[in-house]
């Protein structure tokens, strides 16, 4: 049994949003499926770190959910990305998955999932710049609180938290201090994130900073190969 992660699958089986207009995204769904099936075993867990589907509603995203559900793996744990417009309340998402027999899909929101002695924790996060803008400051504070609540839930269960985000908590010389302070306060040693694509990846942080090791796992960066966590 292993734990994997990948971000930014950007699936569009139920809507017209082809990704192959972007360099490096040609046939990305086929590449992802091939790499996934070569690595993921039926008993494995995979974290999907945001930007799962281009569907605007749960119904539009259903073909993408069904495609993911059919892939190997006992659990696929979904974090919200900035393009996951289909995201609704936890109750509605859980009910939708149950109604359509999507038995391997799980939403991570203000809680954690246990994996051996670890707690899978996370949230979407938010952009690092213009934090002095009132609207941005409000969202950043909310996302930092969601990360805190998620990590605390794992700690109460006696588990070691691992953090998964969609947005990077630091990028180039820009830092999201609210998110970083949560990571530091809870002694998080590894943080996995997506969102960053193309040329922007040259400024992404990979490696250790102030006691936290950061891992960029956006789909195009990892060539659509799920990355081993544990």
pLDDT for residue 129 is more than 90: no
Phi, psi at 61, each rounded to 5°? -80, -10
**Residue-wise pLDDT tens digits, 199-218:** 999 999 999 999 999 999 99
Please write the tens of the pLDDT for every residue from 216-228.
999 999 999 999 9
pTM for the model stands at 0.95
Q: Give the residue numbers spanning the domain of 55.
A: 3-228
- The answer, yes or no, to whether residue 132 has pLDDT greater than 80, is no
pLDDT above 80 (res 157): yes
What was the pLDDT predicted at 137?
83
- Number of neighbours of residue 148 by Cβ within 10 angstroms: 19
Q: Which residues is 165 bridged to in the sheet?
A: 123
pLDDT in tens, 41-75: 999 999 999 999 999 999 999 999 999 999 999 99
Q: What is d(CA 100, CA 94) in angstroms, rounded to the nearest whole number?
A: 10
**CATH number of domain containing 89:** 3.60.21.10
In total, how many domains does the chain have? 1
């Amino acid at each position: 049994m292993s734990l994997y992660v990948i971000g930014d699958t950007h699936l569009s089986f139920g809507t017209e949003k082809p990704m192959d207009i972007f360099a490096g995204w040609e046939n990305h769904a086929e590449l992802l499926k091939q790499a996934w099936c070569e690595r993921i075993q039926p008993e494995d867990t995979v974290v999907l770190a945001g930007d799962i589907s281009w569907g605007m509603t749960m119904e539009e995203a259903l073909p993408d959910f069904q495609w993911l559900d059919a892939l190997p793996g006992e659990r696929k744990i979904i974090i919200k990305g900035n393009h996951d417009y289909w995201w609704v309340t936890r109750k509605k998402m859980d009910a939708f998955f149950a109604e359509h027999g999507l038995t391997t899909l799980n939403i991570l929101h203000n809680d954690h999932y246990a994996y051996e002695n670890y707690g899978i924790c996370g949230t979407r996060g938010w952009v690092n710049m213009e934090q002095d803008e009132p609207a941005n400051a409000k969202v950043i504070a909310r996302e930092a609180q969601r990360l805190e609540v998620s990590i605390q839930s794992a700690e109460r269960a006696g588990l070691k938290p691992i953090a998964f985000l969609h947005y990077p908590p630091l990028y180039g010389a820009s830092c999201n201090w609210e998110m970083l302070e949560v990571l530091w306060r809870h002694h998080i040693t590894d943080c996995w994130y997506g969102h960053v694509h193309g040329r922007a990846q040259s400024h992404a942080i990979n490696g250790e900073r102030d006691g936290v090791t950061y891992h960029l796992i956006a789909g195009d960066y990892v060539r659509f190969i799920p990355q081993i966590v544990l």
